[in-house]
């Protein structure tokens, strides 16, 4: 089996898009009128074909070669240039962008689908596309007409690449401590001076120019995050005719030597070492962080998809290996000296591992695709109320998608390595690289702990708890309306118990706030996120199950050999397994919260 192999679970993806989410219905809205079911189906097939045949073969060699610094500039692996060029020429890198910005204007959920394949194929290239598009959309949202005209077309084509520059060596995730300064020049320019770190694709030779979006503090601005403004800072200035001009005093200080994503340069950048770096304001002064949250939230959803895409690739690879690898005899014939050797998929422990991987991948896909569809509804829903409800749900779902999908995705890959035994630990198979590449996702764009603080400290307290209560009302409606769906009865009953314990956990954390203040309230924020997200994924997974059960019931041919019958039955079994085997492992988080222990705060470490 080749280390570059990528297998896509097209059956589950097609079911998710066409039968469950009914993505073709989005074509009723003018914004998505060109994306009927037939068009979407064609795009999905061609998009995954691009991921499998163009991107996936670059994964292992680009990881081996990594990035190099030559003459103080980053050289990415040579394997990247042709796929990068094709991704923009064919539209895969900008599928969901507005047509006026060079995109195809596809629904966000379709973009999420294609990105799952791209992530599984080569996560380092996937990161380039995410950040290029995200930086471009920041300029589109907050830039002047002149800035849009000057920069967006060349970013949309991939000629220029984009970044987000937030963190600084002394500040890390505490952006309020950022010290990069911006001095107004009186001509629309600001002189930028400071150092930024952890900049993905901060320097690269994929494009002709790098366009940085930089948080900096205008002199005299308030202290803390309230005083940050957002700037467009290019590596090269442009001449009046649009041609590449002189350098803009942006210098590469170093690139990080990392555990994974070796083909993606993570840079330390110095702005204004020679006092000659200039930037252009995006949005209003002192509103930079609120502007940057647009890209941060996009990046969090994008990072969540990395978890889905790489976990799916790992499951599919482990499944193929288990069907091919012959080792040992069937457990029922262990005492027979002449018993034939069998494929390892016949061993109960391997079956359990594969089912665990499968159920987690499908639950992650349901959570992320379901949220992506809500993002579309928040833009094009028929009424203000519909759009507002979808927006509120997306607000509370975003940290769960990012935090849970990356943590669970990493666990799926770990299980795949274990299932494959020694070969899973070697570079002859993709599993060890998948693990290394995905490992940063739980840190990238805010650690899991930061996502948990966002969920517990911000989203659950917004509008007096309306977001969380709205989510719980959705859960209650699921139980009340679907407890008698044939094939889902025990799954719904079991899930309703998890909903109750989730509500109890939320109440417990409220009481801990009363007993120990804010530190008590957030002490178990990460365990709460992990449990809340597992329950929420269960909601979307059950909703899939309702579609599968109804479609199974409607089939005239109930022959178990029928591939559609098998698919629907397997979907119901997978959901049942998730509720009865996987969910209890997450329920332990709720039980830990219920014990209300403050040892972690009180022990002298």
Does residue 319 contact residue 246 with C-beta atoms inside 8 Å? Answer: no
Report H helices in 421-484.
Answer: 431-439, 448-453, 466-482
Which residues, 6 or more positions from 170, have their beta carbon under 8 angstroms from its beta carbon? 177, 179
Q: Is 484 left (phi over 0), alpha (psi -120 to 50) or beta?
A: alpha
Phi, psi (deg, nearest 5) at residue 230:
-110, 135
| DSSP, res 222 | P
Which residues, 6 or more positions from 592, have their beta carbon under 8 angstroms from its beta carbon? 524, 527
Rounded to 5°, angle at Cα 252 from 247 and 257 = 155
Q: 445 an active-site residue?
A: yes
CA distance 426 to 432: 7
| DSSP, res 196 | E
Q: Which of 445, 480, 515, 553 is catalytic?
A: 445
CA distance 85 to 238: 22
Does residue 56 contact residue 12 with C-beta atoms inside 8 Å? Answer: no
Residue bearing tokens 């219905």: 25
Does residue 265 contact residue 204 with C-beta atoms inside 8 Å? Answer: yes
Does residue 166 contact residue 175 with C-beta atoms inside 8 Å? Answer: yes
CA distance 350 to 327: 12
Grouping H, G, I as helix, E, B as strand and the rest as coil, residue 194 is strand
569 burial class (0-12, 13-18, 19+ CB within 10 angstroms)? middle
Would you please indicate which residues are annotated as catalytic (active-site) residues? 445
């Amino acid at each position: 089996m080749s280390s570059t192999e990528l297998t896509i679970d097209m059956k589950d993806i097609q079911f998710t898009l066409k039968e469950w989410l009914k993505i073709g219905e989005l074509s009723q809205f003018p914004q998505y009128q060109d994306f009927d079911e037939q068009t979407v189906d064609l795009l999905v097939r061609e998009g995954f074909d691009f991921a499998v045949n163009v991107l996936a073969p670059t994964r292992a060699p680009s990881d081996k070669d990594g990035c190099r610094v030559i003459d103080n500039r980053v050289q990415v692996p040579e394997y990247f240039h042709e796929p990068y060029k094709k991704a923009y020429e064919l539209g895969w890198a900008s599928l969901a962008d507005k047509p006026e910005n060079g995109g195809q204007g596809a629904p966000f959920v379709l973009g999420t689908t294609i990105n799952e394949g791209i992530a599984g194929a080569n996560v380092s290239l996937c990161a380039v596309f995410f950040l290029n598009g995200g930086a471009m959309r920041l300029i589109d949202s907050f830039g002047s007409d002149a800035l849009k005209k000057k920069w967006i077309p060349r970013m949309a084509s991939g000629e220029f690449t984009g970044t987000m520059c937030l963190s600084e060596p002394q500040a890390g995730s505490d952006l309020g401590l950022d010290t990069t300064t911006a001095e107004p020049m009186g001509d629309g320019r600001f002189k930028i001076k400071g150092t930024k770190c952890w900049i993905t694709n901060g320097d690269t030779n994929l494009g002709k120019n790098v366009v940085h979006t930089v948080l900096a503090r205008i002199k005299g601005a308030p202290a803390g995050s309230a005083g940050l403004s957002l700037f467009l800072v290019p590596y090269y200035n442009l001449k009046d005719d649009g041609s590449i001009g002189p350098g803009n005093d942006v210098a590469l200080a170093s690139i990080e030597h990392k555990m994974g994503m070796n083909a993606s340069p993570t840079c330390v950048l110095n702005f204004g070492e020679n006092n000659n770096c200039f930037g252009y304001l995006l949005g209003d002064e002192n509103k930079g962080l609120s502007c940057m949250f647009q890209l941060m939230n996009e990046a969090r959803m994008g990072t969540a998809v990395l978890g889905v895409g790489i976990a799916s690739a790992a499951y599919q690879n482990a499944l193929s290996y288990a069907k091919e690898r012959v080792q040992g005899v069937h457990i029922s014939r262990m005492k027979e000296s002449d018993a034939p050797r069998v494929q390892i998929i016949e061993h109960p422990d391997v079956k359990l591992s594969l089912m665990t991987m499968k159920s987690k991948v499908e639950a992650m896909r349901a959570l992320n695709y379901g949220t992506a569809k809500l993002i579309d509804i928040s833009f094009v829903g028929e009424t203000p109320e519909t759009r507002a409800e979808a927006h509120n749900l997306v607000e509370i779902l975003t940290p769960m998608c990012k935090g849970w999908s990356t943590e669970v995705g990493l666990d799926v890959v770990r299980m795949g390595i274990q299932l494959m035994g020694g070969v899973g630990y070697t570079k002859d198979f993709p599993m060890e690289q998948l693990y290394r590449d995905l490992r940063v996702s739980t840190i990238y764009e805010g650690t899991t702990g930061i996502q948990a603080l966002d969920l517990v400290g911000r989203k659950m307290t917004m509008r007096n708890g309306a977001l969380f209560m709205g989510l719980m009302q959705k859960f209650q409606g699921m139980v009340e309306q679907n407890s008698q769906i044939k094939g889902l009865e025990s799954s719904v009953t079991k899930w309703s118990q998890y909903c109750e314990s989730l509500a109890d956990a939320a109440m417990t954390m409220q009481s801990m706030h009363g007993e120990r203040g804010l530190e008590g309230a957030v002490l178990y924020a990460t365990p709460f996120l992990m449990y809340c997200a597992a329950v929420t994924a269960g909601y979307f997974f059950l909703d899939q199950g309702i579609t599968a059960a109804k479609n199974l019931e409607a089939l005239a041919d109930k022959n178990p050999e029928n591939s559609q019958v098998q698919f629907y039955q397997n979907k119901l079994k997978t959901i049942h397994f998730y509720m009865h085997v996987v969910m209890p492992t997450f329920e332990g988080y709720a039980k830990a919260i219920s014990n209300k222990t403050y040892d972690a705060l009180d022990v002298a470490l």
